[in-house]
Amino acid sequence: MVNTFINNFKKHDLDFGSSEVQIALLTKRINNLSLHLQKHKKDFSSRRGLLQLLAKRRALLIYLFYRKKTIYYSLIFKLNIRPIKFSD
């Protein structure tokens, strides 16, 4: 299941650690945790884990935004996530 998800975003056969793959896997985990938290509203440990995953994904997205903008925009379109808001 994870391998089929990775195949959509990897650059070559042995690519498991590129920013695109990491963001895709984090997004999958975030979506699963969000569904869990909708059912279990008082699970604060999972909520903390979700916030950590969101921060990690945000950092990777910022990295992509500054280094590879075309990949950044295609990735947020494919994963259906909002673009990053930068504070001025």
- 56 inside domain: yes
- Confidence at residue 11, expressed as pLDDT on a 0 to 100 scale: 80
Q: How many CA atoms lie within 13 A of 55 on its CB side?
A: 6
Report the candidate in 35, 27, 19, 37 with the shortest Cα–Cα distance to residue 2.
27
- 52 inside domain: yes
Number of separate domains in the chain: 1
- Confidence at residue 63, expressed as pLDDT on a 0 to 100 scale: 95
- 85 inside domain: no
- Confidence at residue 7, expressed as pLDDT on a 0 to 100 scale: 80
Domain region containing 44: 2-79
Alpha carbon distance 29, 26 (integer Å): 5
Residues 59-68: contacts with CB under 8 Å, at least 24 apart: 60/19, 60/22, 60/23, 60/26, 61/23, 63/19, 64/19, 64/20, 64/23, 68/19
- 88 inside domain: no
- Per-residue pLDDT of 29-63, as tens digits, reads 999 999 999 999 999 999 999 999 999 999 999 99
pLDDT tier, 88 (very low <50, low <70, confident <90, very high otherwise): low
pLDDT tier, 2 (very low <50, low <70, confident <90, very high otherwise): low
CATH number of the structural domain spanning residue 66: 1.10.287.10
- 86 inside domain: no
- 20 inside domain: yes
Ramachandran sector of residue 38 (left: φ over 0; alpha: ψ -120 to 50; beta: rest): alpha
- 68 inside domain: yes
- 64 inside domain: yes
